[in-house]
C-alpha cells in the first residue's frame, strides 16, 4: 500500500493504492480502440413500448449521444434510457432503450462513429446499474517499467486480492472534475451557487478561451454576455444561460434545463466523493487489512442481504468474505438516517458533519432533482482477475467488472500515473 502523490486524486478522495510498485506510467486512450468496453447484459424480450438497441459508439459522451439520437428521431431525449454511462474517449458497446419508436425508425439515425442495431423490446426503460457488468480491453501506451513482467504480475495479484473500489475520475467530470462541488451546493440549498459553479468554475485542462469565458461570468454574473463568449460546444452551460436570460434569477429552472440524468449526477457525485474519502480513511486506519471484515463493518451479500459484523461472528465473517460469499461495504449516505455501527460509519458521519449535510438535505435535493437519494451500501473492495500482455512499451489489460466499478480504478493501480494521462 502507498499514498498517491497527485493533488487531483487526493481532492477526489482517492488517496491510496493497494499495491506498492513504482507504476508502469504510460498513457490511456491514445486512440478509441485502446479503451474497449463491452457491456454484459441479459437478452431483452420481444414485447413492450421500448425498443431495445445495441449501441456502439466511438468517442461519444453518453448524454450527448442520447440527445443527438433523439434529435434525429424527432423525439425528446427523455425517451432514451440506458444502464451504464460508459467512458467517453473509448470504443463502447451497450444497450439503450427508446420509447415509442419502431425498428424501421432507427434507419433515420446517421451519426458518425455511432452504430445502432435493434435487438428486442421491453416493457420498462433501462435503469442505471441494470446490466450484469462490463468487459474491458485496455491498452496502456509508452510504459516505463524496467521489469514489466514482474511488476504486472505483482499488481495483478493485488487486484485479485482486492483494491479500493474508488469511484473513478470520470464520476466527477473528466476535463473538469466539479460535479461533486455542484452537488454540495444543491444539498445545501444554494441553487445559485450550483449554477454558477457549473457554468463558471474553470479547470487547468480546459481551453484558455473557455477558462476566460468562465471567469468573466463569475465576475459579471451576466448570462447574456456569457452567451456571446461561450462556445456552442458547451451546450449544457448555454442551456442554463439561455434560461437565466429569459428568467432572471430562476436558478432552479436553470438547473432543471439540464437533462435529468445529468442533473441527478451532481448529488450522486458528492456521495461518491464521501465514499472515496471513507475508503481512504479505512485504508489509513487498517493498512492492508482494509480488505477483511472487522467488528462493526457492514457486509453485503450477493442476494442483496445486509448485515453488521459483531465480535462473536468476526471469524465467520472473515471466512465468508475469503470465500466470496460476502463483501465489506460502506454505507453511501442519503435521506435515510443511519445508526452508526462501526468505524466506517463514524468516519462518514464526521465527513457529513464537516460539510453541514443531513439526511433532510438529501430529501430536499430529491424534490429538486427528481431522483431519490436514499443511500445504499457499496462494496469497499474491488477484486478482479487481470490478464496482461506486453508489446514493446505497450501493455494491454483485460478484465471484467460488475456494475458501478471503474476500469480506471484498476488501471491506476498498474500505472500510478498523473490522472491527466488517464482521461
CB neighbour class for 30 (10 Å; exposed up to 12, middle 13-18, buried from 19): middle
Residue 330 CB neighbour total at 10 angstroms: 26
C-alpha cell at 133: 457488468
Q: Give the span between the Cα atoms of 234 and 240, in whole angstroms.
A: 10
**The one catalytic residue among 20, 34, 46, 87:** 87
Q: Does the annotation count 38 as an active-site position?
A: no
Burial 183-221 (b: 16+ CB within 10 A, else e): bbbbbbeebebbbbbbbbbbeeeeeeebbebbebbeeee
Cβ–Cβ under 8 Å, residues 29 and 90: yes
Query: Residue 115: enclosing H or E segment and its boundaries?
Result: strand 114-122
In 321-413, which ranges are E strands? 327-332, 376-379, 381-382, 387-391, 394-401
Cβ–Cβ under 8 Å, residues 29 and 423: yes
Query: Given the C-alpha cell 481551453, which residue does it identify?
Result: 207
Angle formed by the axes of helices 179-187 and 191-200, nearest 10°: 170
Cβ–Cβ under 8 Å, residues 110 and 79: no
| DSSP-assigned letter for residue 27 | B
Question: Catalytic residue numbers?
Answer: 87
Amino acid at each position: 500500500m502507498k499514498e498517491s502523490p497527485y493533488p487531483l486524486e487526493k481532492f477526489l478522495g482517492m488517496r491510496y493504492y493497494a499495491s506498492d510498485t513504482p507504476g508502469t506510467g504510460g498513457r490511456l486512450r491514445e486512440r478509441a480502440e485502446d479503451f474497449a468496453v463491452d457491456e454484459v447484459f441479459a437478452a431483452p424480450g420481444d414485447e413492450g413500448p421500448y425498443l431495445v438497441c445495441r449501441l456502439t459508439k466511438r468517442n461519444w459522451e453518453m448524454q450527448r449521444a442520447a440527445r443527438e439520437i433523439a434529435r434525429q428521431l424527432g423525439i425528446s431525449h427523455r425517451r432514451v434510457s440506458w444502464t451504464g454511462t460508459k467512458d467517453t474517449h473509448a470504443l463502447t458497446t451497450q444497450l439503450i432503450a427508446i420509447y415509442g419508436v419502431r425498428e424501421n425508425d432507427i434507419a433515420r439515425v446517421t451519426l458518425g462513429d455511432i452504430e445502432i442495431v435493434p435487438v428486442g423490446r421491453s416493457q420498462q426503460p433501462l435503469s442505471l446499474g441494470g446490466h450484469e457488468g462490463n468487459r474491458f480491453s485496455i491498452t496502456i501506451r509508452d510504459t516505463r517499467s524496467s521489469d514489466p513482467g514482474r511488476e504486472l504480475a505483482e499488481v495483478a495479484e493485488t487486484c485479485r486480492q482486492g483494491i479500493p473500489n474508488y469511484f473513478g475520475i470520470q464520476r466527477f467530470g473528466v476535463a473538469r472534475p466539479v460535479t461533486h462541488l455542484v452537488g454540495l451546493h444543491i444539498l445545501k440549498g444554494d441553487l445559485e451557487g450550483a449554477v454558477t459553479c457549473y457554468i463558471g468554475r474553470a479547470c487547468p485542462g480546459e481551453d484558455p478561451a473557455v477558462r476566460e469565458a468562465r471567469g468573466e461570468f463569475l465576475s459579471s454574473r451576466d448570462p447574456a454576455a456569457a452567451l456571446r463568449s461561450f462556445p456552442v460546444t458547451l451546450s449544457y452551460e448555454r442551456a442554463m444561460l439561455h434560461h437565466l436570460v429569459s428568467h432572471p434569477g430562476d436558478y432552479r429552472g436553470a438547473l432543471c434545463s439540464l437533462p435529468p440524468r445529468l442533473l441527478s449526477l451532481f448529488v450522486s457525485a458528492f456521495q461518491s466523493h464521501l465514499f472515496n474519502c471513507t475508503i481512504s480513511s479505512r485504508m489509513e486506519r487498517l493498512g492492508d487489512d482494509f480488505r477483511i471484515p472487522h467488528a462493526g463493518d457492514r457486509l453485503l451479500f450477493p442476494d442483496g442481504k445486509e448485515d453488521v459484523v459483531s465480535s462473536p461472528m468476526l471469524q465467520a465473517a472473515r471466512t465468508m468474505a475469503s470465500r466470496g460469499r460476502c463483501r465489506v461495504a460502506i454505507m453511501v449516505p442519503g435521506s435515510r438516517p443511519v445508526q452508526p455501527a462501526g468505524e466506517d460509519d463514524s468516519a462518514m458521519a464526521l465527513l457529513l458533519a464537516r460539510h453541514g449535510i443531513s439526511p433532510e438535505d438529501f430529501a430536499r435535493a430529491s424534490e429538486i432533482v427528481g431522483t431519490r437519494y436514499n443511500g445504499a451500501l457499496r462494496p469497499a473492495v474491488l477484486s478482479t482477475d487481470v490478464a496482461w500482455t506486453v508489446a514493446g512499451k505497450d501493455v494491454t489489460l483485460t478484465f471484467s467488472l460488475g456494475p458501478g466499478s471503474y476500469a480506471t480504478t484498476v488501471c491506476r493501480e498498474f500505472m500510478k500515473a498523473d490522472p491527466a494521462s488517464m482521461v
